[in-house]
Structure 1
Amino acid sequence: MRPRIAVIGRRAVSVSGLRFSATVAAEAIGDAVFGAGGEPLVLHGGQRDRLAELPARLAGFDGVLLPGGSDLHPSRYGQAPHPRTEPDHDEQDELDLAVARAVIALGIPALAVCRGMQVLNTVCGGTLVQHLADGPVPHLDALHEVTVEPGSRLASVVGDSAFKVSSYHHQALGRLGDGLRVVARAADGCVEAVEHTEADVLAVQWHPEDLFDHSGQDAALFRDLTDRAAARRAATRKERPA
């Protein structure tokens, strides 16, 4: 059986064919997880008064994927909004932050993408740069190279050679959160990947789902998630009484 990967759903005000709001996930994320051997299942956040149930719900999955999305509200990391910051839903913020906390506390294998990495940094006590000034490396809707830290866990997954990634963000990590280690950067110094020193979490600023079907490094990120999830599934099954 494929390991069950919870893809945290995004709130959408309207979706074609539906009369009301929806919980959605990008098809590319689902394709990438499925192509790597996992079973992607969209996790509906539900009402905010049910968030206390979230750890128990997540414990039933083998892995978690925190995808990209809109800007996290700056109040979540102690700042006033920048004019270019565009927060979306408070409910989405609360869900994603709760997921990140639960993943760390429960030790669930996880991959965080773009906003997901920013959420991870926030729950670990870090901050964000709310808007990146134009510079030598284009970060919004562009391809650029990242350099991976040799000897890091990320390097064991994607190798330690520089490679091009699909980038779509205007914010970035500011002060690094506790328990996180920077493991990849762009040429301008922008943090492109972090890994948690204790929890089973890897996070990237770029969108590996964009190029997974012809980028060996991006495909490897999803295989790594499903491999870690499969290992958790096997260990959990052994722990259950006969």
Structure 2
Amino acid sequence: MRPRIAVIGRRSASVSGLRFSATVAAEAIGDAVFAAGGEPLILHGGPRERMAELPARLAGFDGVLLPGGSDVHPAHYGQVPGPRTVPDHEEQDALDLAVARAVIALGIPALAVCRGMQVLNTVCGGTLLQDLPDGPVPHLDALHEVTVEPGSRLASVVGTTAFKVSSYHHQAIDRLGEGLRVVARAPDGCAEAVEHTGADVLAVQWHPEDLFDSSGQDAALFRDLTGRAAARRAATRKERPA
């Protein structure tokens, strides 16, 4: 049986064919997880007053994927919005932050992408650069190289040869959160990946779902997630009484 991967849903005001708002996920995310052997399932956040149930709900999955999206509200890291910061829906912030806290606390294998990495840094007490200054490396809707730290867990997944990634962000990590280690950077020094030193969480600033079918490194990130999730599933089944 494929390991069950909870893809955290994004709130959308409208979707073609529906009369009401919706909880959605990018097809590319689902395709990448499925191609890697996982079963992608969209997790609906539900009302905020039921958020206390989230850890128990997540415990029923084998892995979690926290995808990209809009800007995290700067209030969550002690700042006010800058002129180009466009905060997401407050319910989306509440859901994503709660998910990041739960996967850390429960040890659920997780992959965080773009906004997901920024959410992870925020719950670990870090801050974000609200708008990256113009420089030699384009980060918004562009391809650029990343270099991975030798000896890191990420290096064991994608190797240490520099490779190009699909980048779509205007914010980035500023002060690194507690328990996080930067394990990849762009040529301008921007943090492109972090891993948690205590939890089973890997995060990348780029969008590996964009090139998973042509980039061996991006495909490896999803295989790593489903592999870790399958191991958790096997261990959980072994622990259950007969």
The interval holding the TM-score normalised by the smaller chain is over 0.9
Query: 2: CA distance between counterparts of 1:215 and 1:201?
Result: 21
| Partner residue in 2 for 1:179 | 179
Deviations 1:108-142 (A, max 9, x none): 00000000000000000000000001100000000
Deviations 1:147-189 (A, max 9, x none): 0000100000000010000000000001000000000000000
| Partner residue in 1 for 2:220 | 220
Deviation at 1:88, TM superposition (A): 2.0
| Partner residue in 2 for 1:15 | 15
Please show how residues 1-242 of structure 1 align to structure 2 within 5 Å: 1-242=1-242
| Secondary structure of the corresponding residue to residue 219 of structure 1 | helix
| Secondary structure of the corresponding residue to residue 56 of structure 1 | helix
Query: 2: CA distance between counterparts of 1:192 and 1:39?
Result: 27
Deviation at 1:209, TM superposition (A): 0.0
Letter of the 1:31 counterpart: D
Identity %: 88
Deviation at 1:2, TM superposition (A): 0.1
Query: 2: CA distance between counterparts of 1:177 and 1:87?
Result: 20
The count of aligned residue pairs is 242
Query: 1: CA distance between counterparts of 2:85 and 2:22?
Result: 24
| Secondary structure of the corresponding residue to residue 17 of structure 1 | coil
Query: 1: CA distance between counterparts of 2:201 and 2:102?
Result: 11
Following superposition, which runs of at least 4 residues in structure 1 exceed 4 angstroms of deviation? none
| Secondary structure of the corresponding residue to residue 61 of structure 1 | coil
Letter of the 1:184 counterpart: A
Letter of the 1:51 counterpart: M
TM-score calculated relative to the size of structure 1: 1.00
TM-score calculated relative to the size of structure 2: 1.00
| Secondary structure of the corresponding residue to residue 60 of structure 2 | coil
| Secondary structure of the corresponding residue to residue 23 of structure 1 | strand
| Secondary structure of the corresponding residue to residue 11 of structure 1 | strand
Deviations 1:220-242 (A, max 9, x none): 00000000000000000000000
Show structure 2 runs of 5+ residues with no match: none
Letter of the 2:167 counterpart: S
Letter of the 2:111 counterpart: L
Query: 2: CA distance between counterparts of 1:81 and 1:27?
Result: 30
Deviation at 1:196, TM superposition (A): 0.2
Query: 1: CA distance between counterparts of 2:166 and 2:35?
Result: 19
Deviations 1:46-65 (A, max 9, x none): 01011000000000000000
